[in-house]
Structure 1
């Protein structure tokens, strides 16, 4: 029977090539969008699931609450990491790592060197996690001192081969030791939160005083710590036991509370938005984290696109219903049960959907290379693809065929054979109302997508073009990556300033758009009884204001070493301290923090006392998602920060020559120093890179929904024209013009689009304003955005139905009135 259904379906589809093509095109388009978004979402939702013990791995999250602030950080102290497995039976093992800054790793054979983040890992790191090994023992590779494990890609860069186990490398961080490569790991998957290039064994540095002192450390946040819990262990109970162990051994300052929770490994990527260091594991520059809001948005969008494609099929199928009345009547008169007819039409839907599905798979594979480059992922849809993706795809195929074919099947099979053979038209009001409702739904979604796209586009442009309080263009930032360069900074700065293409040069500890943590300090006026304020701190020199074009509003600039104990405040910091005029007011800075809890500036617990000499305008040193916070500009030589960057304002002519000259100057001070640089505007753009990607995706999905909705509207226009063919004939006989008939037929659809606009506008207003709440500084949703989207929907709808309307209006009335 099924084979017979398929044969009849193929015959019916081949006789109506236009409708078949429209159905297949709509479904193929919808399925292509659904599969592409599905692959993207699957990748996001399966982060870090390549580890076999993933369900038992939890990350330590420390919460520190003081009278002045609260800090949540993805880290722990050494003792919490080291002692917990020894005292808590629920914990089977501990993995930890720590970043120690950047240093040159060199291949002694050819002096090939690369500046990379130094990442220290304990032996448990390779026992808890399944980092796939290419060569060497992947479980014991970090057991011994002076051992290093590197990824295949880094080994290729350093040695031009991955066959490097047993070879040695040197590290500027510990120049007196040769490090032996004990294992080579396969490159990290794209959906992994770990992206270190190499791991140095923790045992290598345990003899240093800094690491020996950590045996008494219970309260810091030095380590990224992961606990492997035993089977059936409750993470909540394990966290309680960790907190009990902490309370028994730690003595925080009065008024300070420290506690821990355990975050599942699977939650790290999507649930770390409010955790300091929550998205970084081993590489300082790895800051991309998932956002659950966007996951939900794109999941809903994917379902809507597929639903709109199914609605399109329903409308086109019901538009053809009148033409198939005799076929259905003959089948019923010959004894066909309703179930047989339902099976026939569902089979027809399955055939159309299957063809559309195959075309969608082909289309997905054609666009995946560009899609991967655009999203920064490594997605695929082939024989090696995760079986769960194929299971999802086949499920989508079945549901789509059932959903799109069910309504036409039940509609076409319910009429009596007598009425069908008399060519009675399907004019049931409930059926017509449902089809109109479906078109309203399609265009409602399309209009919401159009408004959202305009808002997202405008916000991204606003972020990129907003006045940041300084001039970001042509600022060349050069990293300071060695002690020799840091010590010779004054000489290098002077030599940079002599280059014809360099206008100004400044030395700073951090720069706006920083990917490293900007330190925090507590500040208060000396003698004030108010609680200390929390502020960011930058170490700068006297050239900072001129180089970055930051305006000095009041007071004076730094005048050299004499101002080592002076500070300049931004407007927000001055307001927080109730300072209107800088007049050498004394400020206490008792504590500082580098991404974790606060610690005294001096070991003696004395405050760093400074004088306020100036106030500068507020400038954005973070994403515009963040409100401008208090900022203290301290002179470059201070007990909190050290200089890390040269920033040169260049004229933009012959950049390669400028870089070559800078490199020559720096290697003159330190021959092993690698020139690492970036343009500040490029770095700032990274804040909004994901928004730009989402903007582009939203544009394409909006076009897809509009295209599929237009196919559905075309189907309904065809249906309406066929239902009113005699009415049109009568009107023409009575003198109606082609224009008036076209307007009559188009008017009905215009009403549907206007209803869709009325529903879409409040939904779009709510959704876009909800998204804009992510930004401390954002555009306003304006009336013209809705007007443009609404008029675009009306224009597209009229353009779509005009063909059928004009065609119906131009039919010879004699032919229309004779047809039976």
Structure 2
């Protein structure tokens, strides 16, 4: 019986091969999108879940009680010992991780020429305690957590051991960090998985963190470094609410009464860190949970549009197959047998689509994985979970796409079917159904299109917005040191290059992901304000190099320490001054200084963070000890790429002669700033791709329906042409109904698109306004594509000789 069903299904599909191809293509794209998005969603949701106690591990946050509250991942250094003293039950379930931002790892002999040097980016090297491994699960290949007990020891991951030492045994060998301190290898662990917010491969002993200088002073309760974070594992007997309530008294005990009023500690679950876009993590990769569910919903919507295609085409062919159903029923077929027959046809199509979808997903995954910043080797589309998901998706698709058409076809009355009267009794119903389904398809497509258009203009705003400083033609280079004479030597060598207009040494560029926030006290006030300032230590060339605009006063004088101050407009306004000139000559204490410093200038506001955040009160001043960045404003570069390459070689030569023990690396400022919005860029690119796919699937169904209409209305078209109808009239006859349907879809999708994108834009302090023409543009694009889809078949039908049309049965 099953073989008979299968053979009959194959014959039916061959007989209507054009519709079968359209159905398979639509289902293939829908299923492929579902698979790819399922893989992406599953990958994101698996972050940090590989730790056994993931549900009881928390990160401690320092939260400013401002409005809105501002969380900070950095915890003051003395808090670690104080927590262990006050919470003895957490003594071995509590640890501090202190990340090393960027470092050069030197391996090999003593002679400079014999050493191998590796420039390691953020998130590779950290200081850690043995207790770190009580919280987080690592497979030890050699050594044990106690390997990190003694000073100047290091534990490597397997991949870093191979990178540094090849196939030789690394145990007992030495690596040097930043040409500053040696560490002996005492352990090897398995590398963390890609789905970890702790991508560390080099664990330096925490016993050396103070000597290395990678944290705030050991007894300073005010200063914190965002890379020094505390994690704890709560025992089952200690609830989150109880722990946080006890931290209130902890703050009062160790912080000043003034600080305790505006500061608190909070605990962030480990499993939430990857999804928290208002805080950073060591992997420097966050995805909002809303984005994840949006991907899941879009995958479902696209699959539904593909199923709608199937239903549309199946119901369009229902009238043609009415006589077939009548003959089968006269010959004894029951409704259940016919139902199984038509579901069998759908299952054949779906099976073909499932196999093709897996192939398409495999081919598309490298592109999509790169788009979503997912390592290609981190997932396998042929894993059992994915294959089971795809099989279940195939069954679900068969039911969604095939059940209704099969139910309708199997329900025909044989007498009416054989007399050909189904056309009059069922046409209105089918037409109404198809209209509703087409509206649903294009509503989904236009929703994605509206989101893509709005996201495009927001991303364009990010690229072109006035940040208050120049971002073009500025080269930045990290400085590994600023010992006496080093910066002066480097300046002398670079200033003579004809392509360098000006250069500056500073802690960071004007906008940076790494910021120093501190308190201040203005004009002998009794207490610090309830907000802080962002510090920008820099030399006297900073304003000229980055194109900052001085609104009042003058530039500060050269100095190696904090001598004079320049503030921004926002700082002036927060203090209640109406005119920048009014603050010139005023004094304040800042950055823990005991002596007041004079304000000598005011600069126009510039964005110290990304455009997600408002401009903060900022202070520029000299402080040589914090100069870690070299910025160079370049003149118009002749010679194109070749000229830039030559300039970079000259800069590297000068830099290398100053810092021979380190590895040269550079960035262009505009590219660095663009990295602030990588997450948004990826979201925009993904939704743009999905919008195109959804439109394409919708147009496939539209093409199939129009093809069937043109075929079923052949005689009508012949009669109309005989009575004088033009090709344009026939084209309009086919097009007008579909244009109305797309217009109705626009009415449905526009309010939803407006609401969703309004919520998305609300995350940014600086954003575009959603305007009416964006919705009109979306509708125009959808209508234009629909007309193009309809035009081929409708014009082809209109051009047929009416004599031939009238002879057609």
Alignment-derived partner of residue 200 in structure 2: 196
Alignment-derived partner of residue 44 in structure 1: 44
Alignment-derived partner of residue 465 in structure 2: 466
Cα separation, 1, equivalents of 2:63 and 2:609 = 23
Match of 2:762 among 773, 782, 792: 773
- Shift in alpha-carbon separation, 1:375–1:482, aligned structure 2, 3 A: same
Alignment-derived partner of residue 435 in structure 1: 434
Moved more, 209-218 or 760-769: 209-218
> Does the CA-based 8 Å contact 2:23-2:310 persist in structure 1?
yes
Moved more, 34-43 or 767-776: 767-776
- Shift in alpha-carbon separation, 1:571–1:201, aligned structure 2, 3 A: same
Alignment-derived partner of residue 171 in structure 2: 165
Cα deviation for residue 298 of structure 1 reads 2.0
Alignment-derived partner of residue 554 in structure 2: 556
Q: What are the residue-to-residue correspondences of 1:661-810 with 2, within 5 Å?
A: 661-722=650-711, 724-810=713-799
Cα separation, 2, equivalents of 1:266 and 1:386 = 24
CA shift digits 1:531-588 (9 cap, x unpaired):
4653212112221121112222222122323995321222222222315243674555
Match of 1:327 among 324, 327, 344: 324
- Shift in alpha-carbon separation, 1:337–1:757, aligned structure 2, 3 A: same
Alignment-derived partner of residue 408 in structure 2: 411
> Does the CA-based 8 Å contact 2:515-2:535 persist in structure 1?
no
CA shift digits 1:90-148 (9 cap, x unpaired):
89723431135554332133322234465210112223222345x41354442443221
- Shift in alpha-carbon separation, 1:219–1:543, aligned structure 2, 3 A: closer
CA shift digits 1:353-391 (9 cap, x unpaired):
111111011111112223333332124698785544333
| 3-state DSSP of counterpart to 1:740 | helix
Cα deviation for residue 686 of structure 1 reads 0.4
Match of 1:495 among 493, 496, 502: 493
CA shift digits 1:119-178 (9 cap, x unpaired):
210112223222345x41354442443221223443344334474233122234753xx4
1:113 aligns with 2:142: no
- Shift in alpha-carbon separation, 1:658–1:715, aligned structure 2, 3 A: closer
> Does the CA-based 8 Å contact 1:63-1:72 persist in structure 2?
yes
Cα deviation for residue 488 of structure 1 reads 2.6
Match of 2:619 among 628, 632, 647: 632
> Does the CA-based 8 Å contact 2:550-2:601 persist in structure 1?
yes
> Does the CA-based 8 Å contact 1:102-1:481 persist in structure 2?
no
Moved more, 705-714 or 327-336: 327-336
- Shift in alpha-carbon separation, 1:215–1:131, aligned structure 2, 3 A: farther
Alignment-derived partner of residue 263 in structure 1: 268
- Shift in alpha-carbon separation, 1:379–1:229, aligned structure 2, 3 A: farther
- Shift in alpha-carbon separation, 1:730–1:673, aligned structure 2, 3 A: closer
Cα deviation for residue 622 of structure 1 reads 2.1
| 3-state DSSP of counterpart to 1:268 | helix
Q: What are the residue-to-residue correspondences of 1:339-488 with 2, within 5 Å?
A: 339-379=336-376, 386-426=383-423, 427-484=426-483, 488=486
Cα separation, 2, equivalents of 1:57 and 1:348 = 52
| 3-state DSSP of counterpart to 2:747 | helix
- Shift in alpha-carbon separation, 1:102–1:36, aligned structure 2, 3 A: closer
Cα separation, 2, equivalents of 1:112 and 1:657 = 25
> Does the CA-based 8 Å contact 1:710-1:797 persist in structure 2?
yes
TM-score by length of structure 2 reads 0.89
Moved more, 678-687 or 388-397: 388-397
| 3-state DSSP of counterpart to 1:50 | coil
Q: What are the residue-to-residue correspondences of 1:243-258 with 2, within 5 Å?
A: 243=248, 252-253=257-258, 256=261, 258=263
Stretches of structure 2 lacking an aligned partner (at least 5 in a row): none
Cα separation, 2, equivalents of 1:212 and 1:320 = 75
Moved more, 135-144 or 536-545: 135-144
> Does the CA-based 8 Å contact 2:608-2:616 persist in structure 1?
no
Cα separation, 2, equivalents of 1:416 and 1:799 = 38
CA shift digits 1:152-207 (9 cap, x unpaired):
443344334474233122234753xx422123344433322112241111234578
Cα separation, 2, equivalents of 1:111 and 1:204 = 23
Moved more, 554-563 or 572-581: 554-563
Stretches of structure 1 lacking an aligned partner (at least 5 in a row): 593-600
Match of 1:547 among 545, 548, 563: 545
Cα deviation for residue 685 of structure 1 reads 1.0
| 3-state DSSP of counterpart to 1:507 | strand
- Shift in alpha-carbon separation, 1:692–1:64, aligned structure 2, 3 A: closer
- Shift in alpha-carbon separation, 1:769–1:257, aligned structure 2, 3 A: closer
Cα deviation for residue 322 of structure 1 reads 1.5
Cα deviation for residue 18 of structure 1 reads 0.6
> Does the CA-based 8 Å contact 1:729-1:813 persist in structure 2?
yes
Match of 2:511 among 495, 510, 513: 513
Cα deviation for residue 436 of structure 1 reads 0.5
CA shift digits 1:768-805 (9 cap, x unpaired):
33322222222333343333322221221122122332
Cα separation, 2, equivalents of 1:430 and 1:769 = 38
Cα deviation for residue 307 of structure 1 reads 0.8
Match of 2:608 among 589, 605, 621: 621
- Aligned residue pair count: 792
Q: What are the residue-to-residue correspondences of 1:207-222 with 2, within 5 Å?
A: 214=218
| 3-state DSSP of counterpart to 1:561 | coil
- Shift in alpha-carbon separation, 1:80–1:331, aligned structure 2, 3 A: farther
Alignment-derived partner of residue 137 in structure 1: 143
Cα separation, 1, equivalents of 2:82 and 2:777 = 63
- Shift in alpha-carbon separation, 1:419–1:212, aligned structure 2, 3 A: closer
| 3-state DSSP of counterpart to 2:755 | helix
Moved more, 13-22 or 52-61: 52-61
Moved more, 393-402 or 528-537: 528-537
> Does the CA-based 8 Å contact 2:490-2:655 persist in structure 1?
yes
Cα separation, 2, equivalents of 1:183 and 1:565 = 47
Alignment-derived partner of residue 127 in structure 1: 134
CA shift digits 1:211-266 (9 cap, x unpaired):
99858969967742222334576433444455556666666546525544332222
1:19 aligns with 2:19: yes
> Does the CA-based 8 Å contact 2:26-2:306 persist in structure 1?
yes
Moved more, 90-99 or 783-792: 90-99
- Shift in alpha-carbon separation, 1:642–1:724, aligned structure 2, 3 A: same
Cα deviation for residue 417 of structure 1 reads 1.2
Cα separation, 2, equivalents of 1:139 and 1:493 = 46
Cα deviation for residue 28 of structure 1 reads 0.4
> Does the CA-based 8 Å contact 1:586-1:610 persist in structure 2?
no
Alignment-derived partner of residue 228 in structure 1: 233
> Does the CA-based 8 Å contact 2:316-2:708 persist in structure 1?
yes
1:61 aligns with 2:61: yes
Alignment-derived partner of residue 599 in structure 2: 612
- Shift in alpha-carbon separation, 1:481–1:529, aligned structure 2, 3 A: closer
1:648 aligns with 2:635: no
> Does the CA-based 8 Å contact 1:105-1:115 persist in structure 2?
yes
Moved more, 516-525 or 291-300: 516-525
Match of 2:304 among 307, 313, 329: 307
> Does the CA-based 8 Å contact 1:318-1:719 persist in structure 2?
no
